[in-house]
Structure 1
Amino acid sequence: MTKTALIIGVSGQDGAYLAQFLLTKGYTVWGSSRDAEGARFGNLDRLGIKDRINLISISPEDFRSVLVGLDQSSAQEVYFLAGQTSVGLSFQTPAETMLSNSQGMLNLLEAIRFQNRSLRVFHAGSSETFGDVGAEPAAETTLPHPRSPYAVSKSAATMLTANYREAYGLFACSGILFNHESPLRPQRFVTQKIIQGAHAIAKGRQDRLTLGRLDIARDWGWAPEYVEAMWLMLQCDTPQDFIIATGETNSLQSFVELAFAAHDLDWRDYVETSDSFSRPSDIAHSAANPSAIKAALGWQATSKMPDVVRKMTAACT
């Protein structure tokens, strides 16, 4: 039988790539945004799949809206990818961030429990929950140490998912996603800002690129690979949380250097830093140990940070 999946938050980077992936698997795909009639769904258009998605409106903070969406889609798998995704913005809108990320996931879990539905749920967790891990890469058992309202909201949603799994027997799991990029990233994300900035400078359309700290280090992967890990997690016999990452950490300066080198430019001639991008608290070093998902599901990231830079640069126009 053809499986049906509902992607709550289909318009974002991960939602679009996941929809594309599920279509290749023969799924009937439903996708939601807060206002399906008014949304543009540019990422779905960019991938050429918008007409193949059943688009509906779901506001995750509205319990009734979630109930209606579950009834309308009759999905066997639900992927919760909605919410406020910017760490920096979360310091300016902490209440909205908590509501969209934590309350939204709670409403989904409670709706499933309330209706006694037999379906599988994936929650998109975040590496931000671990905070600054130092020398020891984070594993699934690493204690949370959130350093932003965004990280707190994601920590709460991840804990809620585990609680409903243990308390009510729901097939609910969290993929703890480390940084993953693609050409679908908005330019408010620093990786896309760097890629587009280097391209614009190379084309003579821009003179300088201003960034924040360059000494921070992250584990950067390729988003289209990460959505496969999401899907694999819902094909397991039992639900389990997994870290989704490459296992390699690089500095932002290294990312910048490669982005400019792709245009035969020396980044030091064009990049300046400003304290205006600083946050009340930030993570200096983020690192992951993704060995558990490889052992259990056979998934392993094949694109590392240099590959991510190369692919994003190739997509520039």
Structure 2
Amino acid sequence: NSATRHELLFEHLQTISTGTLNILESAYRHAGGTKIFIAGSGLQFVNTGDPIKETDEFSAMDVYSVARIHAVYAARYFRNKGLQTYVGYLFHHDSPMRKENHLNQKIVNAVKAIEKGEESRLSISDVSVEKEYGFADDIAEGILHLVQKDEVFEACIGTGKAYTIQKWLELCFTSINKDWMDFVDTNKDFVPEFKRLVSDPETMNKSGWQSKTGIEELAKIMLHYSS
């Protein structure tokens, strides 16, 4: 379900690249005073494992990043033409609205099923991978905060804190008094897209916004949600 696999090249071109251009051109022609927010991604930067800033170099190493980079340059082009375009570089964030193809939600759903006795095993790749565990509500507030600024137009919107997938497993399984190792199969031959992906949200923090929801609270929110 990785968004970076080559088979999604033209889908990303249509939805991210062309979709962004359609929005920007429409606003430029018909609603010049509109503020436009474009979502970037932490995945489109060179990633050494250190916290990523919005001023860091881009890296077009996969089809998803290619599309995101194109969208950012489109936003910059229209900004130079007078349109108020903002880019927020987003990192991993979750909510109970996530579909099950997202790993964190997959784990949450499996834990709920195991608690009911409906499922016994969960297959996961590399539990040592570190990423952010932001709450989508906080990130949405960050987006709204950014577009209200007149001096900052691009920023990383993230928690600035990275945790392993194992940490998420421990939190979720502890909630039902189980040991995750008794229920999870790992693939040690799997090569992850990154070992650590974390933001440096200094620009947003200095402007008055920061993520409020920690990983423990996020786990409780997702585990206790009833659809």
TM class by shorter chain equals: over 0.9
TM-score (norm 2): 0.92
- Matched with 2:122 is 209
Asked whether the equivalents of residues 131 and 283 of structure 1 are also in contact (C-alpha less than 8 Å), the reply is no
1:237 is paired with a residue whose SS is: coil
2:46–2:56 contact (8 Å) kept in structure 1: no
For structure 2, the 5+ residue unaligned runs are none
Q: Which residue of 1 aligns with 2:68?
A: 154
Please, what TM-score do these two structures have when normalized by structure 1?
A: 0.67
SS at match of 1:263: coil
Among 34, 40, 44, which residue is 1:119 paired with? 34
Q: 1:209 is matched by which residue type in structure 2?
A: L
Aligned mate of 1:176, from 82, 86, 89: 89
Percentage identity across paired residues of the two chains: 26
Between the aligned partners of 1:89 and 1:172, the Cα distance in structure 2 is 25
1:52-63 pair list within 5 angstroms:
none
Change in Cα spacing, 1:177 to 1:156, as seen in structure 2 (3 Å) is same
Q: 1:215 to 1:91 in 2, by over 3 A?
A: farther
SS class of match (1:154): helix
Cα separation, partners in 2 of 1:116 and 1:130, compared to 1, 3 Å: same
Paired AA for residue 107 in structure 1: N
Shift of 1:188: 0.6
Corresponding pairs, count: 227
Extract unaligned runs of 5+ from structure 1.
1-85
Q: Tell me the distance in 2 between the aligned counterparts of 1:174 and 1:204.
A: 45
Deviates more, 1:87-96 or 1:252-261: 87-96
> 1:214, 1:238 → 2: CA distance?
40
Name the SS for the 1:139 alignment partner.
coil
Match of 1:310 in 2: 220
Asked if residue 108 in structure 1 is aligned to residue 23 in structure 2, the reply is yes
Structure 1 CA distance, aligned partners of 2:41 and 2:2? 11
Q: Distance in 2 between matches of 1:275 and 1:106?
A: 41
C-alpha distance in 2 between matches for 1:140 and 1:245: 11
Q: How does 1:199-238 map to 2 (within 5 A)?
A: 199-238=112-151
Aligned to 1:292: 203
Q: Secondary structure at the match of 1:259?
A: helix
What is the rounded CA distance, in whole Å, between the counterparts of 1:266 and 1:116 in structure 2?
Answer: 55
Aligned partner of 2:53 in structure 1 is: 139
1:205 and 1:131, CA in 2 relative to 1: closer, same or farther beyond 3 A? farther
Which residue of 12, 20, 44 maps to 1:129?
44
Higher mean C-alpha deviation, range 229-238 or range 246-255: 229-238
